[in-house]
C-alpha cells in the first residue's frame, strides 16, 4: 500500500493558563515575567502544615470555557492528587481533576477542507501548573516556583482530527475561545497555551483505532503541523516495513523536523491518583451557571454568523475575521466607517490580517481610515496599487485618506483623453511586447499596462488602460 491509503487519527490535549488574579489554591499573583521566586508562599511552595483554599474565580473561568465549548457543566466535581517527583513540583504531586472533571462532552466547529467539521471535546478539567527549571549552560539547573499553582484548564478532544490543518484550525478556535471569553491570552510563545498531540494511523475507511503516540509540548502552530506531518510519515513507514507502532511519548526536534522517542509505555509513571483529602468537592448550582452564562460576551461563532448575514461574507471570510478577537474588533470598528464592506474585507484579509500575531493587542492602523480607503477603492477613485500604498502609509501614521489622495495627486485616471498619450507611448516603446501580444501571448499585455502605469505614476485605471491598448494595437 502507499501512504495515501492511510490517514492520521489525532486527539489533542491542550493546557490553557488562566489569567486569574491569584493562583489556584493561594493568594499569590500570576504575572508571567516576574523575577524568579517572587510570587510564592507557603501553600504553593508546599511547606508542611500549609493548606490549600480553592480560588472561586478559577472555577468561574473554567465554566466560561465549558459554556463556550458547549460542554455540560457538572454540578459536582472533585480534585485528585497525581503523584510524581520532579524538581519543579515541590509538593511531589499535582492537583488535578482526574475522575470527576468540571466540564464534559462539548464540541467546537472548525472550517476544514471539506466544510464545517465538528470536533468533540471529551472533557475540560481544572489543574495546577508546575514551576519552571532553568538549565544553566555549564552544569546544574535552577528552580523558579512562580508558576507553581498557577491555574490551568486542560481541554481533551476526542480523536476526531485527521491532519495537521485540522489540528491547527481547532487550536486557533480554542485560542479564540480563550481570548473572547477573557480567561487567557492564549499565547503559545509564552506557554499560556500548550499542546500535546496524540496520533495514530490506520487504513482509510477503517473504524479501528491504531496504537497512539503522544507528542509533547509543541509550542507553535507551525510545529504542531510539522510534527503531525512527520509523525504520520514515520508511523506509516513502520507499518509498511512490517513493524508495529509502539505506544510511547515522543518529542519533535525543530531542527531535524523529525520526532524522537522520549519514553516508552513501560517507563510511564504510575501516578497513584487519589482524591485530595485537603480539598472539598466543588458544587455548582444551576443559578450560578446561568449567571456565568449571561456574563459571557459575544463569541466568535455568534459574530461569524452575524457577519455572514449582515455583509454577505463567505464562511471562509467570516471565519478568518473572527479567528482572532483583536482582528474581529478591528473589523467591527472599520465596517461602520464604510459603505463597501466587501472591499473592506478584501483589504483586511489580504493586507492586515497576515500582520496580526499572538502579541498584537492594539489596532495596527486606524479602523475608520481603512473604512474610508475602502470607499475610495470601491468608487474607483484610486486603483488597487495606490490603495495598497496608502494602506502601508496608514500603518506608519494616521491621516484622512481623502485629503491624502488629493494632496499627493494619487487619484485614479479614469478619463480616456487623459490616458491617450500614455497608451500611445507605452505601445511605441514596447514594440516587442506588442508583437508578442499580437502573436497570441496574452501575458505580454501586462508589460504594456505596466508601461502605462509608468507613464502615469501608477494612477491609470488598469481596466481602461487594457481596453485602450487593445484598441491601439488593433485587437479589440
Ligand atoms: P489518557 O487518559 O491515557 O491520557 P485519553 O483517553 O484521555 O488517554 O486520551 C488522551 C488523548 O488521546 C485524547 O485527546 C484522545 O482523543 C486521544 N486518543 C486516544 N486514543 C487515540 C488513538 N488511538 N489515536 C489517536 N488519538 C487518541
Ligand atoms: Mg492524558
Ligand atoms: Zn502561593
Query: Which element (helix H / strand E) includes 216?
Result: strand 213-218
Question: Which residue among 7, 9, 11 is best mutated to probe the pocket of ligand 1, counting the most ligand atoms within 8 A of its Cβ?
Answer: 11
Mean pLDDT of 69-89: 96
pLDDT computed for residue 6 by the predictor: 96
Q: What CA–CA distance (Å, rounded) separates 169 from 225? A: 10
Question: Which residue among 96, 155, 198 is best mutated to probe the pocket of ligand 1, counting the most ligand atoms within 8 A of its Cβ?
Answer: 198
**Structure-block grid coordinates of residue 162:** 485527521
Rounded distance from Cα 250 to ligand 1 centre (Å): 15
- What pTM value is reported for the model? 0.85
Of the listed ranges 18-32, 160-174, 355-369, the one predicted with least confidence: 355-369
Mean pLDDT of 115-127: 96
Rounded distance from Cα 149 to ligand 3 centre (Å): 7
Q: Are 176 and 325 in contact (CB under 8 A)?
A: yes
Provide the percentage of residues in the chain whose pLDDT is more than 90: 85
Nearest ligand, CA of residue 145?
A: 3
**Structure-block grid coordinates of residue 78:** 472533585
Rounded distance from Cα 216 to ligand 3 centre (Å): 27
Provide the percentage of residues in the chain whose pLDDT is more than 70: 100
Please calculate the CA angle 86-134-276 and round it to the nearest 5 degrees.
30
pLDDT digits (tens, 9 = 90+) for 315-338: 889 999 998 899 999 999 999 999
Question: Which residue among 212, 235, 244, 246 is best mutated to probe the pocket of ligand 1, counting the most ligand atoms within 8 A of its Cβ?
Answer: 212
CA atoms within 13 A on the CB side of 22: 15
pLDDT digits (tens, 9 = 90+) for 362-401: 899 999 999 999 999 999 999 988 999 999 999 999 999 9
pLDDT computed for residue 279 by the predictor: 96
pLDDT computed for residue 464 by the predictor: 93
Q: Confidence band (pLDDT; 50, 70, 90) for 476?
A: low
Q: What CA–CA distance (Å, rounded) separates 14 from 155? A: 5
Mean pLDDT of 188-210: 94
Question: 79 pLDDT exceeds 70?
Answer: yes
Nearest ligand, CA of residue 120?
A: 1
Alpha-helical regions (H) of 336-415 = 341-347, 367-378, 384-396, 401-407
pLDDT computed for residue 1 by the predictor: 86
Ligand 1 cavity residues, CB under 6 Å: 9-13, 156-159, 198-200, 209-210, 212
From the CA of 156, give the closest atom in ligand 1.
14
pLDDT computed for residue 474 by the predictor: 82
pLDDT digits (tens, 9 = 90+) for 226-284: 999 999 999 999 999 999 999 999 999 988 999 999 888 777 778 999 999 999 999 99
Q: Which domains does the chain have, with CATH numbers?
A: 3-288 (no CATH), 306-407 (no CATH), 416-475 (1.10.10.410)
Mean pLDDT of 165-170: 96
Q: Confidence band (pLDDT; 50, 70, 90) for 471?
A: very high
pLDDT digits (tens, 9 = 90+) for 34-63: 999 999 999 999 999 999 999 999 999 999
Amino acid at each position: 500500500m502507499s501512504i495515501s491509503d492511510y490517514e492520521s487519527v489525532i486527539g489533542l490535549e491542550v493546557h490553557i493558563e488562566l489569567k486569574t488574579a491569584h493562583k489556584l489554591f493561594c493568594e499569590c499573583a500570576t504575572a508571567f515575567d516576574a523575577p524568579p521566586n517572587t510570587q510564592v508562599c507557603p501553600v504553593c511552595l508546599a511547606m508542611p502544615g500549609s493548606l490549600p483554599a480553592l480560588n472561586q474565580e478559577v472555577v468561574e473561568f473554567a465554566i466560561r470555557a465549558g459554556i463556550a465549548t458547549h460542554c455540560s457543566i457538572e454540578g459536582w466535581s472533585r480534585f485528585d492528587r497525581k503523584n510524581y517527583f520532579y524538581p519543579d513540583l515541590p509538593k511531589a504531586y499535582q492537583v488535578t481533576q482526574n475522575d470527576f472533571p468540571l466540564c464534559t462532552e462539548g464540541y467546537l466547529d472548525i472550517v476544514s477542507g471539506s466544510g464545517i467539521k465538528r470536533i468533540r471535546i471529551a472533557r475540560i478539567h481544572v489543574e495546577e501548573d508546575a514551576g519552571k527549571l532553568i538549565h544553566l549552560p555549564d552544569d546544574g539547573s535552577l528552580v523558579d516556583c512562580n508558576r507553581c499553582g498557577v491555574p490551568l484548564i486542560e481541554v481533551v478532544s476526542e480523536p476526531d482530527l485527521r491532519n495537521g490543518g485540522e489540528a491547527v484550525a481547532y487550536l486557533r478556535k480554542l485560542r479564540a475561545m480563550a481570548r473572547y471569553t477573557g480567561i487567557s491570552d492564549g499565547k503559545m510563545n509564552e506557554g499560556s497555551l500548550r499542546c500535546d498531540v496524540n496520533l495514530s494511523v490506520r487504513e482509510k475507511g477503517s473504524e479501528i483505532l491504531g496504537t497512539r503516540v503522544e507528542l509533547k509540548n509543541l509550542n507553535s502552530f507551525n510545529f504542531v503541523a510539522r510534527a503531525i506531518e512527520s509523525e504520520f510519515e514515520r508511523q506509516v513507514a513502520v507499518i509498511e516495513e512490517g513493524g508495529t507502532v509502539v505506544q510511547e511519548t515522543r518529542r519533535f526536534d525543530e531542527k531535524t523536523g523529525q520526532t524522537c522517542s522520549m519514553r516508552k509505555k513501560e517507563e510511564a509513571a504510575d501516578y497513584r491518583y487519589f482524591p485530595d483529602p485537603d480539598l472539598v468537592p466543588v458544587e455548582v448550582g444551576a443559578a450560578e451557571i446561568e449567571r456565568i452564562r449571561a456574563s459571557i460576551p459575544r463569541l466568535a461563532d455568534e459574530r461569524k454568523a452575524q457577519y455572514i448575514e449582515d455583509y454577505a461574507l463567505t464562511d471562509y471570510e467570516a471565519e478568518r475575521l473572527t479567528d482572532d478577537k483583536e482582528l474581529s474588533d478591528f473589523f467591527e470598528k472599520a465596517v461602520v466607517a464604510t459603505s463597501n464592506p466587501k472591499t473592506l474585507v478584501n483589504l483586511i484579509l489580504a493586507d492586515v490580517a497576515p500582520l496580526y500575531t499572538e502579541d498584537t493587542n492594539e489596532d495596527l492602523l486606524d479602523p475608520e481610515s481603512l473604512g474610508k480607503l475602502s470607499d475610495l477603492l470601491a468608487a474607483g477613485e484610486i486603483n488597487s496599487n495606490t490603495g495598497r500604498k496608502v494602506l502601508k502609509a496608514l500603518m506608519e501614521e494616521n491621516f484622512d485618506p481623502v485629503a491624502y489622495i488629493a494632496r499627493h495627486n494619487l487619484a485614479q485616471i479614469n478619463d480616456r483623453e487623459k490616458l491617450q498619450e500614455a497608451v500611445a507611448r507605452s505601445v511605441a516603446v514596447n514594440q516587442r511586447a506588442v508583437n508578442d501580444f499580437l502573436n497570441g501571448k496574452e501575458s505580454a499585455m501586462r508589460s504594456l499596462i505596466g508601461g502605462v502605469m509608468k507613464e502615469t505614476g501608477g494612477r491609470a485605471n488598469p481596466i481602461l488602460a487594457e481596453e485602450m491598448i487593445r484598441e491601439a494595437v488593433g485587437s479589440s
